[in-house]
Amino acid sequence: MLELFSYLHDPELVAGFQRRCGLFFVEAAHHSGGKTRFVNAEKSRGELETGWDHQDNNSNYKYKGNGCSAGASLCRPQYEVRNWLLHFLFLFSAGLGHEIFYITCLPCIHWNLDPFLCRRLVNMWTLVMYVGQVMKDVLKLPRPHSPPVVKLETRVNAEYGLPSTHAMAAIAISFTLLLSAPSRIQFQFEVGLLLAVTLSTLVCLSRLYTGMHSVLDVICGILISAALMFLSYPYWETFDHFQLTSSISPIVALVLPLFLSYTYPELDHYSTTRADTTTILGVGAGCSVGYWVNEQLGQTFELQGVLPVPLPTLTANVLALGVARFLLGVIALVGTRQVMKTVSLQVLYSWYRVPKNDHSARRRKEIEVPYKFVTYTAVGLVNSILVNRVFILLGL
């Protein structure tokens, strides 16, 4: 069994998959060829101005961006792409696990389809992501080494690898939607299953293509997410009832995630996992309180009539309304995020007497946790309470 785990965790297995897909590592001595594609990777958020001076021996902090030391700021991943179709397909698929996707796709389901489905998705997404992030920092298994792996992303390189939270989120979102939608919307289940499997597969494979996870990381992510869904599924209706009707629901929704954020496992080096986890918990808390408020006000914006309802015909007018809602909603969420981030940081910097130009102070627990939690709780509240009401006022 240990031999199997070792094999699945072998970076050469990832490198082999990359080569089969047309992505090749280019040694520094051979990067002058005309076909070589040089790409500037984003600087890791874990690698800040002061460097990583205190890391544990198991971490990925000794980042070598495809043969380059972390201290060489001008050194970037060097690789050759021979299949641009697969390259862009996997980059797009990997993007489905980033913040830009969560702040657009999940709310879009709320605005244009059914808040009930969005609530289910946010609940499961919050659960699986918290479990996955905590497991990373408890197990402390490194990401694939480079070389031989080509790393197309470096933002989270200081994080550990197992399990793949991209894989966990893809499974949870795709199959929670598949299991919840039949009671709300009429559609062909086989088509939904095909879409869920396709989307999940693309996201999982993209984590191998981008060099961010081993095969073991991805498989464990899939299995853990499936297990969490299997164990929680019998209680989805019960939790829905508690979340919407209990008088203590908003208290639990705020206190528990904030407690989990502050008690997140400590590392002896800075990693983006605590910040990302606090962001997710904040969104979950804000949405949960917002859905409870809507229920108390008697205006949930959920589908009405005899369920399941048929999907609306996609006419030009319906499409235009959907696009208008999407654009207005995203502007509202991004604007809320920016305002709350600025205000909360100013308040916290003033409270702790931190110089305004000290950007590294954002990594401090006493600043990072409250500013992330407050910012994204506000985003969740705006999404669930205000945006739909603005649509009504504007006739959308």
Residues identified as active-site: 166, 213
In the block, residue with structure tokens 């992303």 = 153
CA dihedral 276, 277, 278, 283 (to 10 degrees): 90
Of 268, 281, 233, the closest CA to residue 379 belongs to 281
Strand order in the sheet with 37-38: 23-25, 78-81, 37-38
Best CA proximity match to 142, nearest among 159, 155, 156, 126: 159
Instruction: Give the residue from 367, 122, 393 showing the smallest Cα distance to 261.
Output: 367
b/e sequence 303-338, b meaning 16+ C-beta within 10 Å = beeeeeeeeeeeeeeeeebbeebbebbbebbeebbe
Helix (H) or strand (E) holding 81, with range, is strand 78-81
Q: Within 10 Å of residue 94's Cβ, how many Cβ atoms?
A: 21
Residue 308, preceding peptide bond in cis (omega within 30° of 0): yes
Token pair, residue 162, equals: 């197992």
Beta carbons of 172 and 226 less than 8 angstroms apart: no
| Amino acid letter, 326 | F
Q: Sort 151 into a burial class: Cβ within 10 Å, 0-12 / 13-18 / 19+.
A: buried
Q: Are strands 37-38 and 23-25 parallel, antiparallel or unpaired?
A: unpaired
List beta partners, residue 25. 79
Cα–Cα distances in angstroms (integers) from residue 392 to residues 49, 185, 323, in the given order? 47, 22, 15
User: Could you tell me how many residues make up the chain?
Assistant: 396
Contact criterion met (CB below 8 Å) for 163 and 132:
yes
CB neighbour list of residue 314: distance below 8 Å, 6 or more residues apart: none
